[in-house]
Amino acid sequence: MAEIRRKLVIVGDGACGKTCLLIVFSKSIFPEVDVPTVFENYFADVEVDNEHVKLALWDTAGQEDYDRLRPLSYPDSHVILLCFAIDSPDSLDNAREAWISEILHFCSGVTIILVGCKKDLRRDPRVIEELRKTRHMPVTPEEGVAVAQKIGVPACDPGCSSGEETQASEVYHLVNSLVFQYSILGQTWI
């Protein structure tokens, strides 16, 4: 039987937790330092319903400076993780207003999952205090789900926080399930 290969691309605002999520997903370790990304690739071998899948994980830069370069990562994608930071309500707004338009323009018909990152900061007193200064609060699970419903995609609130690798596994299992349905059964969402 031929090896199944699938491509996952992760997008979202700069510093929203994309790279951390991919490192936890692919290497099962939490990175100690934040390294800004232009483009980085990771690989994960996953077992989905007794099928071996080689998953290519494409990390992208979320900064505006890379708007012309980022679309080069989209061709042949099977799953897009659209990320936002739970400690940045603006990043959820950007997911709803800008990122989904870019994804749909370049990847029509590809499975998209809205993913909340940095779950540990939702209850962090320093983060809450800083956000209050601008009359904001951390993104709630309900707000994330409401945006996901509005843009017509599944939502996942895994966190990707130090010491909370089990929450990143929620994304891992959801992606595995989607990869299986897409690659083995030929199903797509959206």
- CATH number of the domain bearing residue 98: 3.40.50.300
Q: pTM to 2 decimals?
A: 0.86
What are the phi and psi torsion angles at 42 (to 5°)?
-130, 165
126, part of any domain: yes
First to last CA, the chain: 29
168, part of any domain: yes
- Please state whether beta strands 51-60 and 39-48 pair in parallel, antiparallel, or not at all (unpaired): antiparallel
188, part of any domain: no
pLDDT above 90 covers what percent of the chain?
42
Residue 166 and residue 120: Cα distance in Å, rounded?
12
190, part of any domain: no
In this structure, which amino acid lies at residue 168? Answer: A
98, part of any domain: yes
Domain count, the chain: 1
38, part of any domain: yes
Confidence of residue 94 (pLDDT cuts 50, 70, 90): very high
154-170 per-residue burial string, b: 16 or more CB within 10 A, e: under 16: bbbbbbbbeebbebbeb
Residue 98 lies in domain: 4-183
List all residues 6 or more positions away from 108 whose beta carbon is below 8 Å from its beta carbon. none
pLDDT above 70 covers what percent of the chain?
76
pLDDT digits (tens, 9 = 90+) for 29-78: 777 766 666 667 888 887 777 778 888 999 988 877 677 888 999 999 98
172, part of any domain: yes
pLDDT digits (tens, 9 = 90+) for 149-174: 999 998 875 544 544 544 456 656 66
Instruction: Please tell me which residue, 7 or 184, carries the higher pLDDT value.
Output: 7
Return mean pLDDT, the chain.
Answer: 81
124, part of any domain: yes
